[in-house]
Amino acid sequence: MMSPNSLVSHRWLVPSLLGLLALTGSVLSFTLGGYGLLVMTLIALTTVVCSGLNILIGLSGQISFGHVAFYAIGAYISALMTMAGVPLVLAMASAAVVTAAVGALLAIPAVRVSGPYLAMVTIAFGFIVHHGLIEWRSLTGGANGLIGVPMPDTGSLPASTGLALMAVALMVASLLFFHRLSGSSCGRAIRSVKATEIAARSLGFNPIQTKTLAFALSALFAGLSGSLLSPLMMFINPDSFPFTQSILFVLAVIVGGAGTVFGPLLGAILIVLVPELLSSMAEMRLLLFAGVLLAVLWIAPTGALGVLQARFSKSERVIPRQQPDTNRLASFLTCDAGVPDGLRVKDIGIRFGGVQAAERVSFTAKPGSVTSIIGPNGAGKTTVLNMVSGFYAPDSGRIDLDSDLAGLPAWKIARAGIARTYQTTQLFAGLTVLENLLAGMQRGRLGDCWRKPDPRQVDIAMDLLALVGYRGSVHTLAEALPHVDRRLVEIARALALKPRVLLLDEPAAGLSRADTDQVTELLRTISGFGIAVILVEHDMTMVMSVSDRILVLDSGRPIAWGEPEEVRANPEVVKAYLGSTDYQAPPRPKAWDGSRDATLFVKDLLIDYGAAPVVEGASLVVNPGELIAILGANGAGKSSILQAIAGLHSASKGSVVLNNENIETLDANQIAGKGLALVPEGRQVFPELSVRDNLLMGAYSRADRADLDQDVDDILARFPRLKDRINSPAGLLSGGEQQMVAVGRGLMAKPSILLLDEPSLGLAPAMVAELYDALATLRDEGVTLLLVDQMANLALQVADRAYVLETGRVVHSGDAETLRNDPELEAAYLGENVA
Amino acid sequence: MRLTTRIKHWFLPLAATGLLSLTSLAHADAPLKIGLVASLSGQSAKSGEAITRGLTIAIDEINAKGGILGRQVELLRRDDESNPNKGLLAARELVQREEVAVLFGGLDTPVSLAIVPLANQMKFPFMGVWAAGTPITQNGADENYVFRVSAVDELVDEALVQYGIDEFGMKKPGMVLINNPWGESNEKGFRHALESRDMEWAGIERVESNDIDMVPQLSRLKNAGADSLLMVANVSPSAQVVKSLDRMGWDVPIVSHWGPAGGRFSELAGENAAKVHFIQTFTFVENQQGKGADVMATLKQRYPEIKDLADVTPAVGIANAYDAMHLTALAIENAGSTEGQAIRKGYFAIDDYEGLIKNYSKPFSPEQPDALGPDDYLFTHFVDGRIVPVDR
Amino acid sequence: MITASIISGLGMGSMYALLALGFHITFIVSQTVNFAQGSAMMVGSVLGYTFCITLGIPWVVAAFLTLSLCALYGLAIERFLVRPFHSRGSEAWLLATVAGGLLVDNLVMFTFGKEPRRFLLEGVDHRLELFGTGIGLMQLILPVVVAAIVLALVLVRRFTRLGKVLDATVQNPTAARMMGIHVTRVVALSFAVSTVFAGIAGLLIAPLVSVHSEMGMLFGLKAFAVAILGGISSLNGVVLAGLLFGLVEALIIVYLGSTLSQILTFSLVIAALALRPNGLFGSKKLVKV
């Protein structure tokens, strides 16, 4: 990726290149004559604008198609002031101040919108300024503009050389500023918000603040640059600042390499020099220029420097110590102003639309204790975390730490000392591991724009990483980390906030047993520092062993609150939480004995999403009419296998053979056409289409479209519940009904094999029973099925054979009967369901 | 890659012609370079094309007779995209890097105004052949290097007002002005011309070149009691004015600057185009014999796409550029060198030249940088797609 | 005068809406747009002129040819200017479509010519007396045609298989792929539809304005403003915003003159987005953490 910080390890690279640039620029200022000097000065000024825009695009992740307006405002201010006899330097300062202020003003509407909406706001701003300059005749000279802007008095030096030197100095300064900014605490704040606004807010950063700052800084550079343009051209008018120039600025930043220090320089050279080189083409010039731009975009869509940097930059490998300095950590983490009662949540509740997602939830989390929130899927656990951490404002109730925090924005709650992690990790991509922690340590403060990180802070960050057991390099970019490390670093980052309360949302999801044990140990250590730990987790072994108190939720309502033993013994809990284990699926009347001519044959599958492999060397066979289950803990790679088979992600290696035909290189829609249907996790119905249309969509790839109505009726006979809902939008159905629609939709394709991904996830026990009955019927009718379900005992009841996955590898396989009675499997996997 | 073949399809022949012209020129010894900064792309591209044609015909004639000072003349053109900054950059490039002897300017007054200070500062002659903005030549420089063979807004406005009074008995005109510097410059001129005659005006309405419906602006003028319209706008908005008048059903005399001449005004404005009387420095119809016919013949020969008179719009651009080039050739011959100050004096030393627009006699002096004056203006309108003088 | 302005405002507004629908339809299936939608409109006008006037082909055939070529143009935009970038997760498609528009504008300038031309068809200049003011027939036709197109679009989406496929792709592209829907092809199709809409706008607007290579630029930008203002993923919103924009613009011209219209309309756009960040008729999506 285009992180400015992969350059950090080359500590002297950027400064020495900047020195070289300053030297070259100065030499050229004295040696180039006339026109060449003018062009060089223009390149320098354009670089300044683009470097400013780079703050907005590269660091802050926003975009502006109105930057020429700031350039124009700077130019007009400087022209008006110098024409009134004010020295140029003073005029430049005024231009900088005014454009920064205007930039901050524009940020008011701009930070509220994103994507194309943001583009439109900036375009509109550009037009308003352009036409404002035309209509405000008394000040701006209207469309005629301002003529006779004086050149500065540069003593014995020719004015053009003086201006060139100033422009070069400004260029070097702007590039240096960008470099220092991106490594400073302020820059980290801006980049964090860009990477993931959600996590940034939960670390105390106020996105409005960082985005506004980025706008203001970026406008300031455009204004400064413009203030040198008017004395250079000695003339300005509104047409000197056309809309297309704004687009060219953005283009320069992107093709140069957004987020890189020198990208804007490269881009500026492109957009200034190429038209000059083409000038003799007269009327052909714009045509050719457009062609050149397209070619550059095609060759380097992520920017020339981005491409080069990805190829050549290697960061220094720095690994945290094995053991943290416990004293230093203790003094960092232990709270001075302790809150003896810890976090007290009283009667909070929230509704989404018609659904009461949480109701009258109360609990306390004492300092130094671990409090767990458990409950079946969809019980509202994460909703409660989201209310406590400020992402949802509760409709009722109180959340007390020092004072009532209920309804405050996330960043304020974070600053009050509540840190959190996420189900799917939300590390700041583009920041290194160390920077992720340093960002946490800022507790939402912007800090300064210039200084490098304090060595003492780096030490503490290293200790925290050692504490969580991270063993990789601290200069690795967050997005390049393997799954386990992401979890660990995210916990370390939350600790860097110096929290009094730490919320952990399924920290063990996707971890192996050993890793989970390590995290369990870690939680004890963390609570040992006097932090109130609140844990949402499915892994019952972990919950039962680590928790001091447990809150059990069911359908948004608390049903039990107490110590682990109490909760475990509570019959209501057993019923709500483990109810589905009572279900007995109808067994196959007669054991499967069909053709061994495999319908689906998967061999040596390797799946990685750019980082560590998620699935490694998985092989499996599904014969016609078989029901095969793939089992394994959350994150073991089960779903990844199904998605790879269905063509949603391509596997890096291995082969998938469907009915004697290799399909691993085909796209999902082609695979669907070959008779493979996937009922995806989370159901993925088309929410605004009616149930009937959803079902009909399932038959899209079928060649014979004759008996569609009959087939729909068959599905309805299979799932009678859907009859009444046949014309309602599928999105309004309950989870279980949607699952039936999804299965029915899959069946409508008359597939030669049906893949089911976590069909029982989030369903009420009664629904699960109904669904599994239907699956058993399908099996008995001879439909070939490949089933993934976390509820292993459930899946094993209907399956003929099963494969057990652990961290991406097949560790067991065999017939369901044997596996069901395999104590080893129960210990390793079923532990969570029989806790 | 279909697109690349498409680009090639367009690009190769054009690039080849470009190369050919370059190589053929490389054989001549040190050609004398003449620069042109004009709008070659976009909405005003037609103007750049007309100037190019006028200059090219003149240069061909000059080169056929042995060039200037024994050197072949070469034309270097730069696109200003109607953007003053681009124009200024291009001017500096032509003067400083290419060292052109004289720089010609294009349609846009703002671009010319941007180049004027540079010309006077760097002492190179700048010849305007289109932009009519008064301050281009009246720029207050002690040693003025700017010359013009074109109309001058201030004088045009005088002429338009007088014509309106004489022809239509205009008492209370309404002004329809394009919202750009050209419009601004003429607003001043009209105000001055009307005030000096103690006349009032019904109102001043500005239009944008992209306006499609001008009924509101025109209705305001109508309601304010306008008995005639004074119009300054490019061909497209001028046509929209006529079409909007049609829709309103308002039959009112229109006296216009030369905007309608810049394109197929009669096609754009429809049958009522003929009602617009506009000023010109030259039209080809009138001069079917003599020099006009010769030039027309040469144009047809040199540019096969020109088939009849309707294709030589805007004639003023061609004629002004043609005469200006010949005058410039004389000036350089007079100077005996390509040095800016000498050429400037060379312009003043021109005695007589029989041109396309008129017979010039002492066309330039330090007090009079404009070669054309009110006597050289004529009023025309469109008849059958051709610009013909109004029968008075 | 007010009546005439309102009618002309609605006429222009429906043109903005038609172009904006082009932004809408590509955005809902791919979250991308052809930023040079104005150029596509210009291409429609220029092709229409070439077939109808230069080559003298009957207007029905000419319109068919024009729109077919517009569809091809849309496919080319998607294939060469959008897909190469969007498929890599790069946002550079935005700039690529702008550069593509610049390229096409200039190509048209070289082939079609530099002079603005008039697309004059029998009868389109017809003038009507209505409510005491003169109104061009074309200004009345515009909203009617656009209303018909919107209606057709709604009907197609609601009642045809193609419409369902489009809806499915919009609502859940991944699931759509699993159904066997060639999503890439749907995206390409949406670009073709988008440029066809622009082409229709080009054909409709051509008789009212003059045809030249730069006629689309400002128009396209205003249409983008309309799309955003309406909430780009809401069909009703986009159409309503188009009419609203046209009306407001016309009224500003009546009361304040056209020179201020851009400052005021764009200021209103910013103000509207500051108050409603998802457009006037767009809805906010709940962010899941």
pLDDT digit string, tens, across residues A471-511: 999 999 998 888 789 999 999 999 999 999 999 998 987 67
Which chain A residues contact residue B78 at CB under 8 A? Answer: 279-280, 282
pLDDT above 60 for C145: yes
CB contact under 8 Å between C110 and B10, yes or no, is yes
Smallest Cβ distance to B93: which of A134, A148, A279? A279
Q: State how far residue C213 is from chain B, nearest Cα, in angstroms.
A: 7
Instruction: Flag if B88 and A235 touch (Cβ within 8 Å).
Output: yes
Residue B103 above 60 pLDDT?
yes
The yes-or-no verdict on residue A335 having pLDDT over 70 is no
Partner-chain residue, chosen from A250, A648, A686, that has the shortest CB–CB distance to C171: A686
Q: Is the pLDDT of residue A161 over 70?
A: yes
Residues in contact with A88: Cβ distance below 8 Å, sequence separation at least 6, in sequence order: A78, A82, A152, A227, A231
In B15-155, the DSSP E strands lie at: 32-38, 73-79, 102-105, 126-128, 146-148
C14 contacts in B (CB within 8 Å)?
Answer: none
Q: Which chain A residues have a beta carbon less than 8 Å from that of B79?
A: 279, 282-283, 285-286
Banded pLDDT at A6 (limits 50, 70, 90)? very low
Least Cα separation, residue C179 to chain A (angstroms): 6
> According to the model, what pLDDT value does residue C289 have?
53
Please state which CATH number belongs to domain B154-280. Answer: 3.40.50.2300
**Which DSSP state fits B180?**
S
Per-residue exposure over A598-611, b if at least 16 CB sit within 10 Å of its own CB, e if not:
bbbbbeebbbbeee
Q: What residues in C contact B41, CB-CB < 8 Å? A: 106, 109
Interface test with B, best of A35, A40, A130, A234 (most B CBs within 10 A): A35
- For residue A281, the chain B residue with the least C-alpha distance is B78
Q: Is the per-residue pLDDT at A5 higher than 50? A: no
Please report which confidence band the pLDDT of residue B286 belongs to, taking 50, 70 and 90 as the band edges: low
pLDDT of B19 reads: 43
Specify which of A92-101, A247-256, A807-816 reaches the highest per-range mean pLDDT: A92-101
Question: Is the pLDDT at C135 greater than 80, yes or no?
Answer: no
Q: Residues 203 to 262 of B: which have CB under 8 A from any A CB?
A: none
Minimal Cα–Cα distance from C55 to chain B, Å? 17
Question: Chain C: residue nearest A108 by CA?
Answer: C274
Q: Which 3 state secondary structure label does DSSP give A648? A: coil
Which pLDDT score, from 0 to 100, does residue A337 have? 55
3-class SS of residue B202? coil
Contact B270 C135 (CB under 8 A): no
Select A326-579's CATH number: 3.40.50.300, 3.40.1010.10, 3.30.499.10, 3.90.79.10: 3.40.50.300
CATH 3.30.530.20 for the B29-151+290-372 domain, yes or no:
no
Half-sphere exposure of residue B314, counting CA atoms within 13 Å on the CB side?
A: 34
* Angstrom distance (rounded) from CA C221 to CA A66: 13
Q: Answer yes or no: are the C-beta atoms of B257 and B278 closer than 8 Å.
A: yes
CB contacts, 8 Å: A246 with chain C:
none
Query: In A440-592, at which residue ranges do the beta strands (DSSP E only) sit?
Result: 501-505, 532-536, 549-554, 557-562
Task: Give the list of residues 6+ apart from residue A182 with CB closer than 8 angstroms, or none.
Answer: A4, A5, A58, A59, A191, A259, A261
pLDDT given at position A336: 57
What's the whole-number average pLDDT of chain A? 88
Which of B78, B92, B184 minimises the CB distance to A142? B184
Phi then psi for B179, rounded to 5 degrees? -85, 70
Of the pLDDT bands very low, low, confident and very high (cuts 50, 70, 90), residue C114 is confident
> Is B55's Cβ below 8 Å from some Cβ in A?
no
User: Chain C contacts of B179, Cβ < 8 Å?
Assistant: 258-259
pLDDT (tens digit, 9 = 90+) per residue, A504-550? Answer: 998 987 677 778 888 999 999 999 999 999 999 877 788 889 999 99
- Contact state of B267 with C208 under an 8 Å Cβ cutoff: no
Q: B246 to chain C: which residues are within 8 Å by CB? A: 125, 127, 134
Mean pLDDT of all residues in A635-639: 77
What is the count of residue pairs from A and C with beta carbons less than 8 Å apart?
A: 189
Distance from CA of B289 to the nearest CA of A (A): 34
Provide the pLDDT for residue B12: 44
* B65 pLDDT more than 90: yes
Per-residue DSSP letters for B27-52? Answer: HSSSPEEEEEEE--SGGGHHHHHHHH
| DSSP run (H or E) holding B203 | strand B203-207
pLDDT for res A302: 72
**Residue spans per domain, chain C:** 2-275
Rounded average pLDDT over A167-181: 97
Helix then strand count (H, E) for chain A reads 34, 21
Residue B387 pLDDT level (bands cut at 50, 70, 90): confident
Statement: residue B69 has pLDDT above 90: yes
Q: Is the pLDDT of residue B17 over 60?
A: no
Structure token pair of residue A242: 């056309």
* CATH fold for the domain made of A600-834: Rossmann fold (3.40.50)
Pairing of strands A653-658, A600-608: antiparallel
Please indicate whether, in this complex, the C-beta atoms of B45 and A283 are within 8 angstroms of each other. Answer: yes
Contacting subunits of A (3+ beta carbon pairs below 8 A):
B, C
Q: What distance in Å separates residue A68's CA from the closest CA in chain B?
A: 13
Q: Mean pLDDT across the stretch A675-697?
A: 92
pLDDT at B18: 44
Q: Residues 6 or more apart from B6 whose CB is under 8 A from it?
A: none
Residue of chain C nearest B206, judged by CA positions? C259
Beta bridge pairs of residue A461:
none
Alpha-carbon gap: C67 to the closest alpha carbon of chain B (Å): 20
**Quick one: average pLDDT of A400-409?**
91
**Given an 8 Å threshold on Cβ–Cβ distance, is B263 in contact with C4?**
no
The verdict on a CB contact (< 8 Å) between A234 and B40 is: no
Task: Kindly list the residues from chain B whose CB atom is less than 8 angstroms away from the CB atom of residue A34.
Answer: 92, 96-97
Residue range(s) occupied by CATH 3.40.50.300 in chain A: 326-579, 600-834
Assembly ipTM: 0.94
More confident: A822 or A679? A679
> Among A47-51, A510-514, A766-770, C66-70, which stretch is predicted with the lowest mean pLDDT?
A510-514
Domain C2-275, CATH class in plain words: mainly alpha
Q: How far is B141 from chain C (nearest CA, A)?
A: 33
At C179 the pLDDT is 92
CA–CA min distance B110, chain A (Å):
6
Alpha carbon of C186: minimum distance to chain B alpha carbons (Å): 21
CB contact at 8 A, C46 and C283: no
Mean pLDDT value of segment A599-623: 85
Across residues A633-662, what is the average pLDDT? Answer: 87
Q: Do B217 and C253 touch (CB under 8 A)?
A: yes
Q: Are A463 and A511 in contact (CB under 8 A)?
A: no
**Where are the CATH 3.40.50.2300 domain residues in chain B?**
29-151+290-372, 154-280
Average of pLDDT values for C162-176? 92
**Chains B, C: CB pairs < 8 Å:** 104
CA A666 to chain centre: 28
Q: Which tokens hold the place of C134? A: 């003169």
